[in-house]
Amino acid sequence: MSLDVPLQIHRQKEGVAPHRDLFRVSVADSATVLDAIEAAWAWHDGTIQFRHACHHASCGSCAVRVNGIERLPCVTAITDVWDGASDVVVEPLRNFPVAADLVVDVSTLFDRLEASEMSPLRPVEHALPVEIGERPRTDDGTMVAPAGIERFMRFESCIECGICISACPTAALGGKFYGPAGLAAVQRARAEATAATEVDAILGSVDGEHGVWRCHSAWECTERCPQGLDPAGAIMSLRRELTARRLRRLFRR
């Protein structure tokens, strides 16, 4: 069965005031929101700019706000967001500069991750629970990467879609806040660190006004994470450890 969905899409380009265009798109009832955006682009207006790649919640590049809420449109069924009467409103993520229409400049997300000094990448041999393939290994068991690749890497569960930053009311206030994804990366590094100097350095990197203390505890990052991660819980965990360390230092004096 096909549906005729009224789809409002945010439009923004240099020299044109931001506004929304309404398209009535015809899509299958099994369609996703991304299918509807693509239908608007293919059959109504080829100048609509949006970003997507994998179509299965792996790349995170298509993240937008649907009816005001951050979602990955590639895995959001149109029937989950359309009541059959009202317009479905698609807007770019908040708290990022809009490059054009639904495309935001996510470089600030990577700036925040870099500011946290924690790489979101790690060697795959440390991350996978099982051995893969027949790849040769060095004496210590590390897999040898193919020629031209320095080492195996994989993204952690965070797909760096930017949804947590868009959903975060603290990030909406601007500033240099590391943001939920950056702080969660720090907490993950902290969980793995064992050397005291390393732990000190990791905790010190977020013990400031732009770090864990900036969060206003709205839990919206955790609420919206399409990967089911818990950045807010990670921030609380860092706060608890930092507070405990300060209290210990206070009573030692």
In the complex, minimum distance from the CB of residue 59 to other proteins, in angstroms, rounded to a whole number? 25
Print the SS3 string covering 89-117. EEECCCCCCEEECCEECCHHHHHHHHHCC
Among 13, 26, 45, 105, binds other proteins (CB under 8 A): 45
The answer to the question of residue 132 lying near other proteins (CB under 8 A) is: no
Question: Which of these ranges, 21-29, 51-59, 106-114, 155-163, lies near other proteins under the rule CB under 8 A?
Answer: 21-29
Backbone angles phi, psi at 239, to 5 degrees: -65, -40
Helix or strand run (H / E) with residue 38: helix 33-43
Question: Which of these ranges, 122-130, 142-150, 168-176, 187-195, lies near other proteins under the rule CB under 8 A?
Answer: 168-176
In the complex, minimum distance from the CB of residue 243 to other proteins, in angstroms, rounded to a whole number? 6
Contacts of 166 (CB under 8 A, 6+ apart): 63, 65, 70, 93, 94, 95, 96, 224
Q: Rounded CA gap, 233 and 93, in Å?
A: 23
The answer to the question of residue 217 lying near other proteins (CB under 8 A) is: yes
The answer to the question of residue 20 lying near other proteins (CB under 8 A) is: yes
Number of residues lying near other proteins (CB under 8 A): 36
Q: Which one, 58 or 237, has the nearer CB to other proteins?
A: 237
Helix or strand run (H / E) with residue 19: strand 16-28
Q: Which one, 51 or 94, has the nearer CB to other proteins?
A: 94
In the complex, minimum distance from the CB of residue 115 to other proteins, in angstroms, rounded to a whole number? 21
The answer to the question of residue 223 lying near other proteins (CB under 8 A) is: yes
Q: Which residue shows structure tokens 């440390």?
A: 126
Backbone angles phi, psi at 71, to 5 degrees: -150, 160
In the complex, minimum distance from the CB of residue 173 to other proteins, in angstroms, rounded to a whole number? 7
Q: Which one, 59 or 161, has the nearer CB to other proteins?
A: 161
The answer to the question of residue 176 lying near other proteins (CB under 8 A) is: no
In the complex, minimum distance from the CB of residue 44 to other proteins, in angstroms, rounded to a whole number? 6
Per-residue binder mask for other proteins (CB under 8 A), 74-113, x = binder: -------------x-x----x-------------------
Q: Which one, 92 or 122, has the nearer CB to other proteins?
A: 92
Mode of pairing for the β-strands spanning 103-104 and 98-100: antiparallel
Give the interface with other proteins as residue ranges (CB under 8 A). Answer: 8, 19-23, 42-46, 67-69, 87, 89, 94, 167, 169, 172-173, 216-220, 222-223, 230, 232-233, 236-237, 239-240, 243
